[in-house]
Structure 1
């Protein structure tokens, strides 16, 4: 699934207020010294499985900062040892629950970039799988309705070591290009990135959550997606 060029020219001097939004299945690791909430709040967005607790957010933050941008991660949760650990990553939530968290967070944090990973729990728990793409569409629409100056960068789900879960993930991912294109055709700023293509089952520490190398490639995928958004004029000035 070729969604974006392998790399984009970096941009500089932009204010990037990024809200990482998502949830994934629970996986308890030892609590990081700087993260006293890890046992209560965990996800791929939150960074479970990474040795530093930063997940993909650390790589994304560092790449954008290295380009000379002003980067502010926002959200009510704090995870990892990075200098800006804010996020909206929650343990165990399905798409509709993530949607509700986003509805609460958008007016508070007013991001101009929302990075979404949602659907892992739905696939793992076999919850209304057929309607999952439509529920993700509703989530994206709610973010866009909350702000006309926010770009959504949404990711496919990365692989899972459980064969039935992976089968459901593949079906879910296959629906995303047309889903995202429907927004683009309507003039809406939505970008699709492909974490499934850059993470292998061998990169999973527990069959579900990526290791450091997997998260780094996921962060680069989100970075490339933001570069594409910039090329399309979708990194809006923060008011």
Structure 2
């Protein structure tokens, strides 16, 4: 559902000469955002509680920049007004890619910005590098398969740190993240891909919900929002209006 927000601040700053106009500035067009992934994308935190996740703090940051935003998707969670998403707790990357194609959610909602965080459940099964590359490539392909890809930008997220000290889980997380970072640069759609790196040390296991090995606390979700926000700003000139 669309929410209308003021665009006055960036326009005012431009008029004063305090803001240098780039190719794109906040408020030039709507960001129609599809949050896509598994339980973290749905907003699940400790104890299975589903909240606004990172969507609300990210919305606040983007609105403060001057953007009009509209979260889209077939699912709704949290008490925020614009609470749609495509987050499916427990889903792995390959089923999500298949579902994205079969449900036609990209064609239905025509997002111009997709935020993808998926792979944690794959690492719970300890996928290897070859498999990680295959399934993540399929996920990117599913996003860009429908017509209108020139209006679509995907920011792919690396996986958050895990609390478990199991070597296999830790190694898979490291490997999966290396695959994501590489595909953002080497996939045929790399011109329409950006990276939100959630595993640089900014977010740590202390930002996970108490007693939970995977899901962020509310403070952790706020940090995720910061990383997404930085990635969006870094790629702002590569964004285009929605169809």
TM-score if structure 1 supplies the norm length? 0.81
* Partner in structure 2 of residue 109 of structure 1: 109
> How big is the shift at 1:121?
0.3
> How big is the shift at 1:130?
3.6
- Cα 1:172–1:216 change in 2 (3 A) is same
In terms of Rg, which structure is larger? 2
User: Given that residues 199 and 210 in structure 1 are in contact (C-alpha distance below 8 angstroms), is that contact kept between their aligned partners in structure 2?
Assistant: no
Q: Deviations over 1:22-53 (max 9, x none)?
A: 01xxxxxxxxxxxxxxxxxxx10011117770
More helix by share: 2
* In structure 1, C-alpha distance between the alignment counterparts of 2:33 and 2:63, rounded to whole Å: 12
Do structure 1's residue 220 and structure 2's residue 218 form an aligned pair? no
> How big is the shift at 1:196?
1.5
Dislocated runs of 4+, deviation >6 Å: none
> How big is the shift at 1:100?
2.2
- Cα 1:47–1:186 change in 2 (3 A) is closer
* In structure 1, C-alpha distance between the alignment counterparts of 2:130 and 2:45, rounded to whole Å: 28
* In structure 2, C-alpha distance between the alignment counterparts of 1:92 and 1:194, rounded to whole Å: 22
* In structure 2, C-alpha distance between the alignment counterparts of 1:83 and 1:213, rounded to whole Å: 20
User: Given that residues 136 and 180 in structure 2 are in contact (C-alpha distance below 8 angstroms), is that contact kept between their aligned partners in structure 1?
Assistant: no
TM-score if structure 2 supplies the norm length? 0.80
Do structure 1's residue 211 and structure 2's residue 217 form an aligned pair? yes
> How big is the shift at 1:125?
2.3
Q: Deviations over 1:121-161 (max 9, x none)?
A: 00012246641122112211221222311000010000111
* In structure 2, C-alpha distance between the alignment counterparts of 1:100 and 1:128, rounded to whole Å: 20
Matches within 5 A, 1:176-215: 176-183=180-187, 188-197=191-200, 198-205=202-209, 206-215=212-221
* In structure 1, C-alpha distance between the alignment counterparts of 2:227 and 2:190, rounded to whole Å: 23
Structure 2, gaps ≥5 residues long: 1-21
Structure 1, gaps ≥5 residues long: 1-8, 24-42
User: Given that residues 16 and 113 in structure 1 are in contact (C-alpha distance below 8 angstroms), is that contact kept between their aligned partners in structure 2?
Assistant: yes
Q: Deviations over 1:92-114 (max 9, x none)?
A: 11101111232221111110001
